[in-house]
Amino acid sequence: MLAALVVLPMLVPAGGVETITIHPESVTIRQWDGFGCSLSWWSVFTEHWPEQAQREVCRRLFGRAPDCLGLNVVRYNAGGTSPDADPIRFRPGGRVQVLLDRDGTFHPERDRGQIACLRQARRCGASVFELFVNSPPYWMLRNGDTHGGDNGGENLKPECEQEYAHWLVRVAADLQKAAGVRFTSLEPFNEPSAWWWRADKDGQEGCRMLPETQARVLRALRRELDRQGSRCTIACSDENDALTALSTLEWLTDPSRGALDQRTIGRVNVHSYSGWESQDRLREACQRLGIGSVWMSEVSHREWDNAGYVPNDMRCALPQTRAIASDLARLRPSAWVYWQAVEPLQYCVWYRFTYGLIQAAADTPMEWQGRTYQPGEFIISKAFYAMMQYSRFLRPGYRFVETSDFWTVAALSPTRDRLVIVVHHDGKEPRTVSFDPMALAMKVLSVEGWRTMDDSNGTAWNCRPFKVLWTRQAGLQDTIPPRSVSTYVVRLAR
Divide the 494 residues of the chain into consecutive groups of 10 and give the mean pLDDT of each group: 47 46 90 97 97 98 98 98 97 97 97 98 98 98 98 97 98 97 98 97 97 98 96 97 98 98 97 97 97 96 97 98 98 98 98 98 96 98 98 98 92 94 94 65 82 96 92 75 96 85
Q: How far apart are CA 44 and CA 315, in angstroms?
A: 28
364-370 contacts at long range (C-beta below 8 A, 24 or more positions apart): 368/309
Asked if residues 130 and 184 have their Cβ atoms less than 8 Å apart, the reply is yes
pLDDT at 357: 98
Dihedral sign for Cα 170, 92, 56, 380, please: negative
pLDDT at 442: 53
First to last CA, the chain: 10
pTM: 0.95
Residues in the chain: 494
pLDDT at 201: 95
Dihedral sign for Cα 86, 170, 78, 59, please: negative
pLDDT at 436: 58
pLDDT at 437: 46
Q: Look at residues 235, 255, 243, 265 and name the one whose alpha carbon lies nearest to residue 193.
A: 243
Query: Is the bond preceding residue 237 a cis peptide, omega within 30 degrees?
Result: yes
